[in-house]
Structure 1
Amino acid sequence: MSEASSQNFSESCEHTEEDEKEIPDIVLFTFISILLIIVSYELKKHFKVPVSPILLLIGTLFRVIGGAIAHIDSSVSRIDSLNPELVTLCILPALIFEAAFSSDWYTFKREIWQILPLATTVVILSAVLTAVVVNVFLDYQFLWYDAFLLGVILSATDHVAVVAQLKEMHVDNRFKTLIEGETLLNEATVLVFFNIMLDHALGSTNVAGSIAQFVNLTCTGFVLGISFAIAMGWAIKRMVNDSIQETLLTFAAAYLLFYTSNEINSSGAISVVTLGLYMSAYGKTLISPIAEKSLHNFWNIVGTSVESVVFIIAGMLLGMFFVKESSLELKDVVRMGTLFIFLHLVRGVVLLIHYPVLKFFGYGITIKEVIVMTLSGLKGAIATSLALIVFHEDELDSHFRVVLLFFTIGISGLSIIFDSLAMKFAVKKFGMETLSEVEENMLVGVTTAILQHTAKKVEKMRSDKQFNLVKWDKVMKLAGPKNLLVQIMKNTNVGANILRKHQGDSPEELLSRYTSKFSLSLNALIKETRRRYFTTLKGIYWQEFNSGQCSGYASLILIESCNRALDKEDSKMSDWEHLEKELYNKRLMSIYNYFSGLPLIGKIFKNLLYDIVILTYDAASTFISAHHEAEELMDNMEIDIDEAIFHKVMEEAHDQIELCKEFVRDNITDSYPEVVAEVTSSMACYALLISQRKLINKIFHQGVIKEIEYEHLIDAIDNNMKQLTFQQNPSIPSIKEILKNRFRNATDKDIEQLLPMITEKHYQPGQFLFKEGEPADGAYLIINGRVHELAAWIDQELMIGNIVGVQHLLPIYQVNMSTAKAITMVFAAHIPAAMLNKDIYIEDLYKEASEELISLNAETLGFEGVEEEHLMRMIKSSKIRYFLPGDLIDLRRGGIVLLGSLRRDKPEFSILSPVSKPVEAITSCVLLLFPEFFSESIRESKTMPEAFANYYLRSNAKAQIIRNNDETNNSLEFAASNNLHRVEVQRLLSRRSFKNENED
């Protein structure tokens, strides 16, 4: 072996031995760091201080003490020579992706023209002024490239620290997103400028090269980020209900993207920001609903952990200065403190220079917010990571590197401690987290409901023998209504003032005084009601997506419509008017329609046409159902909103719903009935599969099935869900399919026997299907088109899938009870009454005809004056049951006789009062069984309209008296409404409980 080869072999062996020794040191350091993180968060709970300075302090002590402890001394000392590129690769992708992924995309997009200057020109100008301060005022005389490099590093803001601070302060979401957006793009742009300035400082590029490098870093980084985002979106969409795969894919994509970008001399930071923002904007709907929460939790843990490790490393490097000789002097410590103060002056001046731009774009900004933003430039993990890179660049001046690292770590620690406190003080001083008067008033309404519910709960517990030995004085002191009310009032302006003067008052007296203090304008109440309505609506849209009742893209469009509406709270609702323009371009549709009939390319345009129609119908149907649900939820909310104001806002919502229904009727149901069938079928599939999955999870966790059985069942569900993702073009369901859906007790053979008796008929617009008073010969199943059914007792439009004149299938009606006329071209299937004479059809037939039967016999039942909407809700919530002679009937809820008679005094169309014992059927009969608690509402009300109103409408006890300063009257009103409100709260809680049971 040659001497050169021998030397190379020797060096290789030494390197291998060094690597083998380094790996255990890194592993040991990692797990010690995790323990230190846990200790730091525990100390945070006890001392109520930010965790970052605790980590810095612990890291410093660990470096000083750990070097003297056997077995860990090598791990500690190895930090001094830690590879900065390894730190950067491990730390930055997690911090940047987590920050971008968790951002509010709509608000970020709206504020982008504010965020861009904050993340670019503010950074550059701040870096330049910081370099001037360092070289001129602090008299360091560094090279200007070096000084500017230090300025860039100290212009980096720590996203995780800033977000954590904002969460504790509860500032306005728009201002919060502005600061978060600045810190997010700040991280990316600082890394770009850092790479350019570091190359300058090392002498490896010139000005022209820097410009080219900047363009290459940003443009290539953006393109690469978009490419990875699209590829990851394509892959993650195919991973149905697999939280492990979906989470690991995002994790791998973020780190591989960062690594790939750096390898091709692009900006890894900009690439990962692009990926994260794509996931925030569109990717979140690609993630399976069951994986979403765990994925966000995973990234939150990863982001918090890696940032904590950086602070521990920073503290250990700070400790290095205490155990090793360095070129630092006492004056450097003083200069560091001076520079910390100057940095705030620099940031404040730069923000004021940008104030005209920041005020003009986005949501605007105030001087108070500029002051808070001056204090929000917290330093942390990014700055420390960049300082580590510079510290290990041997080509740079050693004193500069030591000063840079010391300044960065020291200023980061001071920033986390003092800027956090200063931000809190400024926000509180400027009243930026205080509830508005109308919000505080609504909080009073919620508190009222909670206190009344608590009082009822205490009364119930006191009557329970299990609680005979309870010290109720202690319970009421610690968990009673007054304690809760006092704690809430302490944190509000009006409440705190009342509490100082009347602390000895009872909860009822305090609440009465509290309510009487509000003097609210009509516009303020309407605006706040709209805001809460659209906030509720946003949550429903997202829930509709999670439950499979709306596609991901449609849900994003609908949620964005709510965000636009929230930006215009002062304006009347117009969300559907904007959605219609966004979803359905009639000129484009006509072009697609024309080209879809051409050979070769026609199929492509037909698919494009169907995509638009399916998306539009999906969004429109979700819009209608979500608005109805939002109204009901607002109805049930325990908040004080004046009844007239509530109904004014709801009228605006109803106008939008009617516009949406009219659009669907005119543009989709008549022209594309196959789309209606396809979308509703998909919704039903998703609802059923999600319900099955929930049930399987429930019985598995209860121990009913084994793990292997659980896995087989879940795999079956997920395979079915995958099939739903890739479907062919929609088609109109056959008559056989529609009849099978309508009459579920019938077998395929029974339906086959019916088909020869059914005749298909076509009607021109204006042509009558049947007329009132003529002999009844059956009903009509609509296959396409719209029909108007009219009589003194009914006025409705019916479309595809509806049966017109369904009541004429019943033997009790020998003549037509209404008139039906075609509105558009109608294709219908005539169903003769004689064909449905088997018992298997009776229950489904009466279920189909129940609305018409009850409307037709409303006078007999005593339902005159009941609003049609309330009547239909009651019928939909009820159950139709068919009983044979001798069957035992559970009548605990009461009901209505639709066919036959239960007793001699209860003939057809009579109301059955609730009875506790089962009743035996004497003859064959069909009953409508009331929904839970409806009978109670009938019993407690004087009239039927009042019974329906009390069951479905808001309680009068919840109506707010806007202006009433008479304390005596308020006390009397509180006492009078207390019992009413308690009944209302209990009823609502019971209804919610019943609803949850049904969902389960």
Structure 2
Amino acid sequence: MGEEDIHSEGENAIHQDSLFRDEEKMEESANVAYLLTLGILLGLILREVNKKTKFPYSPMVLTCGLLIGLLQSSLGYLGESASILSHMHPHLIVFVFIPVLLFESAFNCDWYVFKYQMINILLLAGPGVGWGAILLGIVFKLFLFYSDEDMNWYQAFTLGSVLSATDPVAVVALLKELGASAAFNHLIEGEALLNDGVAMVFFIFFNKLSKAAAGIGGGVTFGGVLLNFFRNSIVGPVLGVIVGFFGALWARRIVGDDVEVGWLTFVFTYLTFYWAEFCFFKTSGLLAVVSLGLFWSAFGKTKIRSESEHAVHTVWSFVQYACDTTVFLLVGMIVGTEVIEERYIYTSDYFRMILFYFFMIICRYLMVISFWPLLKKYGYPISQPELIVFVYGGLRGALGLTLSLMVGCDSDLPPRFRHLAVFFTAGMAALTNLVNGTTCKALVNYLNMIENPVIKKKVYKRYLTDMIVNQEDTIKELQEDEHYVMADWNQVKSLVGSQEYLQEVMNLEKEIKQIQGGNMSRISYEGLTDSETFGEVRYRVLTILKGLYYSKFEHGQCDEDSVRLLVESSDVALDHTNSILNIWEQLFQSFTSFSSIKYFFKAKEWTFLGGYAQQYITKHLGFVYDVTTTFISCSQEVLTLQQHIPMNKAAVKLIMDELRGEINKAEIYLGSLNDTFPEVIRAIQTKRASHTVLMHQRYHLEENQKNGLVDDKEFNSLKANIDSRLVELENHSFDWQIPTFDAFAMEFPIFTGVPKEELNTIVKSTYEKRYQQDEIIYEKGMTCQNIYIIQKGSVNDEVGSHILKKGLGSLLSYANLIGDGKCMTTARAASETVLHSLNLNVLKSLMQKSQVFEQKIYINAIEYLIKLFESQAGPLAQMEVKGLGQFLRSKTQFKKFDVHSNVEFMFGGYIIKGEIQSCISDDGEGIERYRDYCYVPPRENDFTVNKQLICLVFDDAIDIIKQDRLEQFNLENHEEIVQERFSRIDIQHQQQEL
């Protein structure tokens, strides 16, 4: 070998060492990335096309991918990039994209509906897939007459498994748009979600049988089949649940870090898939990921802090869209390239493919009918139209195409079969998406599958009417703005669609008249049966309860386990709106019995298990207390909406009485809880109070940052401190101690700020009194000598027609402190009760000495006064207790005025004692007078004090009820003034047309 040869080899070694990179590959890589970016851009364009035309999105992307694959020779370097992508291994699609798509679908499902449909979903996605694969294999062999040279029986069943995987994205989106039931949507989605993994299991099984029959690979034994089935169908899902559990624990410890929570869900999704597929488990990664997503849907969502939940869902929605687009584009390009290079597909195969399309629908129908008796027995009932749509909506999509490509690149299989697998799967994906996906809407309408009752029409008419009125208000406001004086307002009304909306309202009114036989009653809904009326009111009540539960959770006033149980109790009740409300029973069944908990109280004294027992008691009773108090609070808020429900008042009253009965059961149980475990309840209340304060601090800090009052450095430091305290609070151990009355009195809210010597005087005047259940503590009208604080048990305080339930730590009664020496209510022990009696004269003496103490007494007494004198309470009577207390403490001023003073009630007020008068009333005539225990409406003119006045002056208007809650009840929301304004708008438009 010469020196030149040695030198040449040395140069080659230098250029091809471990750091060597081919520069030409760099340009290819850039072009591939560029093509994928253009693919996402194409997806955005098609997304807009979908919005305008309602043409299904996935078929359009698949078609574009096919065209790119077919025309790649004419696309220059983009075509070269498409060729590179077309020859990528299909396993890469499964490993990168499919786990994301499966997890996102499972994560965003409604767990309650999915769980209720679980048996039906498992039937269709389990044995249903196997039976469907066999039927499709039979079609290939017996009806399409494919010989063993084309495909043997095992290969036919393998292809049948590939074609059993459904992807009904377009159909589900359509059904949601048309208003199909959530139960039916989840049956379609759930079957598709699980049958992807199951189809792959059957695909692997039949593929092994096919190879074994050809002498390739090891033999297949019955024991091996059972072992593989167990490993794939059981081990995979169990692994998903275990990973989901640890991921949820981790997520719960993350406070205020959206990035970490989002990445946590991504990392565990891929790790679950890879651990299942490639590590020790060797099981189904797809089923493991589905199980992981379902676990997060059921339990993981509420582990994510409310402030991060929206960000996580937004990120996953983006990733799901990007992956779905990329998968259909890649698969389309791969199939298009295969068509160009196709040498194994004959003309007769095209005719067979068209024929197979119809056979495939028939086989899916036979598969569903085979399980029909069981499908009717479990889950939600399926109607005959829904059965037809379910069969017709079984579209084929990404996973089936990917599995077919895996068959196509398997060199152990015959070339003819490999090409037939890709050919038939691509054809079925194209036909089902382009034909079934685009005609499903017409089929749904033809079958009248989706009910559109008069209530839905009235709801929609209400929305349109309100929108038109608000639209006109906005136009009038802009017409007065000098910056819009030259605007063409007729054209504005045309551009914003005023006339079209009006016409649609008129059409809806005609339809409603036809349904109700000309009766257009807005209030009573006379066209409905009693059952429909009661069911509709229950539906509204339960829907609002669900919204209130989530609101409590988002504001940190309810734990994740509690909100999950509460929401599920409403979901269960929503399935039975034709039956009386039975919410509490559903909740109560989830609690451990008191007798069982007492065993844990004994165990807490044990050396090794004591700490765990105490931890369990605190956690479980905290959960029970949280669920019970949240249910009572939210249900009481719903009761305040009673008079705003525009339906038959007798029906509304009946449903509200049902709800009161449920509240009463919960309050009795809460009383028992307080009596039995007072030391634990004190610790629970301490923890909840601490959590609420920290959440309020966090909210206040975030508001200050938005307003520029805190810079980023200070904000991050303070926020990190609050977040760390929240985490510490989760794991903090509280002492179980019942304080002495002396210590308790020092902490009692109304005594805060009272000088120690005065407080000692109060404490010294106290003594203990015991009452048996139903024993009267005091009666209305009797001489009042004492005020009581409940130390144990609970008391029913009869206030007018209302009964206020007072428990541990409550004071009886603030109203008696401001009266004339007579008891204003009747109090009765609801259980065995221990009270601490406080001397009335000592407390009244303190009221004279301390204005702050006096103000607290009067404000707390308002709850009683507005119920005792309900007809005089005005809008205060409609406020729920918590909202009333917040309003009185934050937006009112306690005032006293002498005779002949002038008083201003710009936003209204409430007279506790005294009398005022005004010489000018609303109509400009007569004299207005307001006396004891009376609401004063807002007035611009001053009042004159006729009798020494003690009152509350409001600093802001009363927000009686949250508007969003009211609107959920108010199906029409057409008060007279709104209806008149709408009528005037309609007349004006008609005149303009003439």
What TM-score, normalized to structure 2?
0.83
Residue 907 of structure 2, aligned match among 864, 885, 893: 893
**One-letter code of the match for 1:219?**
I
Shift of 1:32: 3.0
Kindly indicate whether residue 666 of structure 2 is the aligned counterpart of residue 697 of structure 1: no
Write the letter of the residue equivalent to 1:127: A
- Residue 539 (structure 1) shift: 2.1
Paired residue for 2:290? 273
CA contact (8 A) 2:814 2:861 kept: yes
1:754-813 Cα shifts (integer Å, max 9, x gaps): 246414633222488778889866633333333455799997553222222435656x75
Q: What secondary structure sits across from 1:780 in the alignment?
A: strand
1:263 to 271, 278, 283: 278
- Looking at structure 2, the residues matched to 426 and 911 of structure 1 have their Cα atoms a distance apart, in angstroms, of 59
The separation in 1 between residues aligned to 2:141 and 2:562, in whole angstroms, is 56
- Residue in structure 2 matched with residue 507 of structure 1 by the alignment: none
**Range with greater deviation from structure 2 (793-802 or 117-126):** 793-802
In structure 1, what is the Cα distance between the partners aligned to 2:365 and 2:866? 71
Q: 1:150 aligned to 153, 159, 162, which one?
A: 159
1:214 aligns with 2:229: yes
Q: 640, 644, 649: which one pairs with 2:650?
A: 644
Kindly provide the amino acid, as one letter, of the partner of residue 670 in structure 1: D
Q: Which amino acid aligns with 1:804?
A: L
For 1:181, the equivalent position in structure 2 comes to 190
Cα distance in 1 for partners of 2:947, 2:690 equals 39
Deviation per residue, 1:702-728 (Å, 9 max, x gap)? 444433333233323322322332232
Cα deviation, 1:930-979, whole Å, max 9, x if unaligned, reads: 586679xxxxxxxxxxxx99x99999x98999xxxxxxxxxxxx9xx633
Paired-residue identity, %: 25
Deviations 1:211-238 (A, max 9, x none): 3212122222122112101111111111
Q: Deviations over 1:601-628 (max 9, x none)?
A: 4554444334333222211111112122
**Map of 1:968 onto structure 2:** none
CA contact (8 A) 1:238 1:722 kept: yes
Cross-structure match for 2:563: 555
Aligned to 2:413, what secondary structure does the other structure show? coil
1:673 is aligned to 2:685: no
Residue 249 of structure 1, CA deviation: 0.4
Amino acid aligned to 1:55: V
Structure 1's unaligned 5+ residue stretches are: 502-509, 936-947, 962-973, 986-1000
- CA gap of 1:495–1:317, structure 2 versus 1, over 3 A, is farther
Rounded Cα–Cα distance in structure 1 between residues aligned with 2:833 and 2:964: 38
**Is the Cα contact below 8 Å between 2:800 and 2:867 reproduced in 1?**
no
- DSSP 3-state at the match of 1:783: strand
Conservation of the 8 A alpha-carbon contact between 1:452 and 1:982 = no
Q: Is the 8 A contact 2:603 2:610 kept in 1?
A: yes
Note if contact 1:787-1:826 (Cα within 8 Å) is conserved in structure 2: no
* Cα deviation code 1:381-436 (max 9, x no counterpart): 11112122222212211222222112222221221111112322221111122312
Aligned length: 938
The reply on whether 1:245 has 2:245 as its aligned counterpart is no
Q: Aligned match of 2:242 in 227, 232, 245?
A: 227
Aligned to 1:713: 718
The structure 2 residue matched to 1:927, chosen from 951, 954, 971, is 951
Cα distance 1:954–1:516, how it changes in 2: closer, same or farther (>3 A)?
A: closer
| Cα distance between partner residues in 2 of 1:495 and 1:489 | 10
Q: Partner of 1:282: helix, strand, or coil? A: helix
CA contact (8 A) 1:185 1:273 kept: yes
Question: Aligned equivalents of 1:513 and 1:753: distance in 2?
Answer: 63
* Cα distance change on mapping 1:954 and 1:294 into 2, 3 Å: closer
Contact in 2 for aligned 1:241/1:289 (Cα 8 Å): no
Q: How does 1:775-794 map to 2 (within 5 A)?
A: 779-787=787-795
Secondary structure at the counterpart of residue 334 of structure 1: helix
Give the alignment of 1:514-593 within 5 angstroms.
Answer: 519-593=527-601
Q: CA deviation at 1:743?
A: 4.8
| CA contact 2:769–2:835 (8 Å) conserved in 1 | yes
Conservation of the 8 A alpha-carbon contact between 2:872 and 2:935: no
C-alpha distance after superposition, 1:833-860 (max 9, x if no partner): 244522332322322233456677x5xx
Unmatched 5+ stretches in structure 2: 919-928, 984-994
Between the aligned partners of 1:635 and 1:542, the Cα distance in structure 2 is 24
C-alpha deviation, 1:97, in angstroms: 0.6
Distance 1:117 1:771 in 2: 64
Equivalent position SS for 1:893: coil
Aligned mates of 2:505, 2:366 — CA distance in 1: 39
For the Cα contact (< 8 Å) 1:791–1:818, is it kept in 2? yes
- RMSD of aligned Cα (Å): 4.5
**Post-superposition shift, 1:983?**
11
Shift of 1:498: 9.5
* Residue 841 in structure 1 maps to residue 853 in structure 2: yes
Amino acid paired to 1:387: S
Instruction: Tell me the amino acid that sits aligned with residue 251 of structure 2.
Output: I
Give the CA deviation at 1:829: 6.6
Q: Which residue in 2 is equivalent to 1:352? A: 369
* Deviates further, 514-523 or 641-650: 514-523
Contact map agreement 1:847 1:880 (CA 8 A) in 2: no
- Segment drifting more, 281-290 vs 338-347: 338-347
More displaced 10-residue stretch of structure 1: 764-773 or 685-694? 764-773
1:385-534 superposed matches below 5 A: 385-444=402-461, 471=488, 473-474=490-491, 479=496, 483-487=500-504, 494=511, 519-534=527-542
| Alignment deviations for residues 515-564 of structure 1 (CA, whole Å, 9 cap, x no partner) | 99973212122112212221222222222222222211111111111122
Which residue of the other structure, out of 166, 173, 194, is the alignment partner of 2:175?
Answer: 166
The structural deviation recorded for 1:156 is 0.5
Structure 2 counterpart of 1:615, from 597, 620, 623: 623
CA distance in 2, matches of 1:793, 1:223: 56
CA gap of 1:851–1:649, structure 2 versus 1, over 3 A, is: closer
Secondary structure in structure 2 of the residue aligned to 1:582:
coil
**Aligned ranges for residues 3-22 of structure 1 at < 5 Å?**
17=22
- Distance of 1:984 and 1:678 partners within structure 2: 56
Deviates more, 1:202-211 or 1:457-466: 457-466
Native 8 Å contact 2:601 2:613 kept in 1: yes
- TM-score where L is the length of structure 1: 0.83
Instruction: Say whether 1:979 aligns with 2:977.
Output: yes
Distance of 2:745 and 2:29 partners within structure 1: 70
Asked if residue 116 in structure 1 is aligned to residue 122 in structure 2, the reply is yes
Kindly indicate whether the alpha-carbon contact (under 8 Å) linking 1:107 and 1:174 is maintained by their aligned counterparts in 2: yes
**What SS does the corresponding residue of 1:588 show, helix, strand or coil?**
helix
Find out whether 1:824 has 2:848 as its counterpart: no
1:314 Cα deviation from its structure 2 partner:
1.8
The aligned amino acid for 1:123 is: V
- Relative distance call for 1:493 and 1:561 in structure 2 (3 A) is farther
Deviation digits for residues 669-707 of structure 1 (CA, Å, limit 9, x no counterpart): 222334444444444444444444444434434444433
Q: SS where residue 801 of structure 1 aligns?
A: coil
Cα-to-partner distance string for 1:638-661 (whole Å, 9 max, x where unaligned): xx4222222222121112112221
